[in-house]
Structure 1
Amino acid sequence: MKKWMVILMLFVSCGVSAAAPAAEDAATDTVTIWFARHGKTWLNTLDRVQGWADSPLTEEGKQVARYLAEGLRDIPFDSYYSGDAGRQQETLQIIRALQCDRSAPPTTLKALREVFFGGFEGLPNDEMIGAVVKKRGLTNSSQLFAEMKQGKLTLEHYLDEIAAVDPEKLAERAAEVKARMQSALREIIANAQKRGEKNVLVVSSGASILTMIADMTDDARKNQPLQNAAVVKLVYQGDTLKVTEIGNMHYVNAGKARMLQ
């Protein structure tokens, strides 16, 4: 009962002015971009490969998007972006609805899509992983994951391995994903500077977000999968772009705590 009362209060309070900007936004030339992974989908639940293939959010996926919205509630976002996948757009719609945001509609950028996994799209994840295991001469997926955990196999290398074993020879290589994602990032920053924006929220997908930051940080977390609704935060200031958070679930956890109290 308490949860729904909180949600109702969020809608009723739409006329309340936005919270004051966070201290990190005080500098006039600073732009903070919050990249969030979409909520859980049916293909996630079924453990199927989901790149350009798409599926709706599950109820659990919608709920985690609500938690994220509440956790980000005190941040005065100036603009919103998402890829053209339904799961990305649905996640952003939930966030904007619960934050009572009636500003200009979000911008959709095709470049913010998830990685394209070619002939593996829609198949069980085990089939794609198994093909990479075989190529690398390993015995099982546990050995593959151990290589990734130990830093012997980066996410970029893993995506290139998938492209190499794709039976249709259509899967994207890491360099292609990085190029389009960083192009979208440059566009987002340029738009923010032109409009005087300070905080931007972007909903995209896990592997594409991590590939985007692959050459921006040495943090080992860039090679670890993002949970649904996890946040990767970048701060652009004085022609310098820094990755300040990777895979942060604090916003989801804080939002959940507020909504269930």
Structure 2
Amino acid sequence: MIKGLLASLLILSSATVFSAETVPASDNNQDASVTIWFARHGKTLLNTLDRVQGWADSPLTADGKRVAEYLGAGLKGVAFDGYYSSDAGRQRETMQIIVQQLGVKNYQLNELIGLREACFGSFEGGFNRDMAAAAARQLGLSGPEELFTRMKAGTLTAEASMNALSHADPSGITENYQQVKQRTQAALHTIINHALKSQQKNVLAISSGTALQIMISDLTDNPQKNKPLANSAVVKLIYHQGKIDVTEIGTMKYVEAGKRSLTLAR
């Protein structure tokens, strides 16, 4: 039965593998600033089952929807000018819930394939523990427990873990670190350039945990970048005069603020 369920959930797009959005040349006012509020999608069914979910997709659970509502409520003080996600249903669904809380109507969601989660190849749909064991063997670690411990402590880089998975995948489909970084950073620059051209100040984008970690991996020295992101956690970036500053990594303060406000309202 679980095989049938997983088969219905492993929805992979037919778009070109490893494609990256073109980064347009920009002759915009370099004094302008753009703040991009990235959030990881809400908790999904495959997250709950502790199954690998990269290009595989599944819907948000009741808990995932509730926490996404909290995030939306916590972001109510921000006037967003643009909205982005990948083509993954869980990212679209998270955005829908957030904008509903924000009271935004008739918004345009721009989908960038570069914002997809990392592709985990033949590990997709399997147990996270089995994928971690494969990566641990590549890294010479004692097992998945040591790998998870290092990830939570932030002592294992996203580059090391992603490359280990790529080498461990017998199908050769799992992306490596450079491939994920190239497409996620290309998507980031697409967002920035469009925002500059359109004079947008605040942009909301929904992506996924590993993709976001890799996107910011060489944009900051903050060791928090190596720690896994919770569902609905926020990563905030500010672009100004050709420089990108990562000012918040994995914060849940917007979720917590939204939970307080909705609890009081009810």
Partner of 1:201: 204
Partner of 2:245: 242
Is structure 2 residue 112 aligned with structure 1 residue 106? no
Question: RMSD of the TM alignment (CA)?
Answer: 1.5
Is 152-161 or 45-54 further displaced after alignment?
Answer: 152-161
Contact 2:72–2:102 (8 Å) recurs in 1: yes
Letter in 2 for 1:46: L
Within the candidate set 78, 86, 105, 1:75 is matched to 78
Q: Cα distance, 1:136 vs. partner?
A: 2.9
Within the candidate set 154, 175, 178, 1:175 is matched to 178
TM-score (norm 2): 0.85
Cα distance in 1 between the residues matched to 2:205 and 2:150: 31
Partner of 1:97: 100
Distance change in 2, residues 1:132/1:35 (3 Å): same
Within the candidate set 145, 151, 158, 2:148 is matched to 145
Is structure 2 residue 188 aligned with structure 1 residue 185? yes
Is structure 2 residue 140 aligned with structure 1 residue 134? no
Is 99-108 or 167-176 further displaced after alignment?
Answer: 99-108
Partner of 2:48: 45
Q: Cα distance, 1:100 vs. partner?
A: 1.6
Is 207-216 or 131-140 further displaced after alignment?
Answer: 131-140
Cα distance in 1 between the residues matched to 2:112 and 2:153: 34
Distance change in 2, residues 1:152/1:228 (3 Å): closer
Q: Deviations over 1:36-82 (max 9, x none)?
A: 00000000000000000000000000001100000001100001000
Q: Cα distance, 1:152 vs. partner?
A: 5.0
Is 241-250 or 139-148 further displaced after alignment?
Answer: 139-148
Distance change in 2, residues 1:28/1:67 (3 Å): farther
Partner of 1:86: 89
Is structure 2 residue 220 aligned with structure 1 residue 217? yes
Q: Cα distance, 1:104 vs. partner?
A: 3.7
Contact 2:154–2:225 (8 Å) recurs in 1: no
Cα distance in 1 between the residues matched to 2:140 and 2:83: 44
> How many residues are treated as equivalent by the alignment?
235
Cα distance in 2 between the residues matched to 1:239 and 1:202: 20
Q: Identity percentage over the alignment?
A: 51
Q: Cα distance, 1:197 vs. partner?
A: 0.5
Query: Any idea what SS the aligned residue of 2:141 has?
Result: coil
Is structure 2 residue 158 aligned with structure 1 residue 158? no
TM-score (norm 1): 0.87
Cα distance in 2 between the residues matched to 1:152 and 1:258: 35
Within the candidate set 100, 121, 125, 2:124 is matched to 121
Q: Cα distance, 1:134 vs. partner?
A: 2.3
Q: Cα distance, 1:149 vs. partner?
A: 5.3
Q: Which runs of 5+ in 2 are unaligned?
A: 1-29
Cα distance in 1 between the residues matched to 2:107 and 2:194: 14
Cα distance in 2 between the residues matched to 1:29 and 1:152: 36
Query: Any idea what SS the aligned residue of 2:47 has?
Result: helix
Query: Any idea what SS the aligned residue of 2:244 has?
Result: strand
Q: Which runs of 5+ in 1 are unaligned?
A: 1-26
Cα distance in 2 between the residues matched to 1:258 and 1:71: 8
Contact 2:152–2:228 (8 Å) recurs in 1: no
Cα distance in 2 between the residues matched to 1:150 and 1:92: 29
